[in-house]
Amino acid sequence: MSGHADIQGRAPGTAIWLGGLACGAVVALATPCAVLVSLLLAPGLVAILLDRDAGRKPARTVLLCGGALVIDPLVTLWQSGQGVGAALGMAADPAILAACWAAQAGAWLFAQILPIVVRLVLDAAVAARAARLRAERGRYETEWGVPAAE
């Protein structure tokens, strides 16, 4: 151990170990649920691995939208006896898989395009305001007889 601790008094890397322990417990205790969730949320898991953004906001958006559509299959799996075969069957159902993956793809696209759209809207608003202020300034210059600014 390096002797350093984070704010909460844990050694560095403790979060990784705790995450690994939690994943191991989920796989050992709820294997069918883990199989179903990992297959249906595969695009979100890939997004988490590939996202280099601080806070991983796009990946979190992808997982949130995918997670919303995983709840119903999980409830159905829970009520059907929680077999790995049932989990694989549900994950192989084109309607369930397509809905989950499409929601995640849409969330990723939304997270990538929204900042661009917001930037374009704000730039257009600034350009319109600048044009309006230039016109008003020109009106005041002619009204008051002030020479035009360069």
Q: Which residue matches tokens 């989920």?
A: 26
Question: What DSSP designation does 65 have?
Answer: H
Residues 95-133: pLDDT tens digits?
999 999 999 999 999 999 999 999 999 999 999 999 999
| Least confident piece of the model among 22-31, 54-63, 75-84 | 22-31
pLDDT of residue 109: 93
Distance CA 11, CA 3 (A): 7
pLDDT band at 1 (very low <50, low <70, confident <90, very high): very low
Question: What DSSP designation does 150 have?
Answer: -
- To the question of pTM greater than 0.75 for the whole model, the response is no
Burial category of 21 from C-beta neighbours within 10 Å (exposed 0-12, middle 13-18, buried 19 and up):
exposed
Burial category of 81 from C-beta neighbours within 10 Å (exposed 0-12, middle 13-18, buried 19 and up):
exposed
Q: How many CB atoms lie within 10 A of CB 82?
A: 15
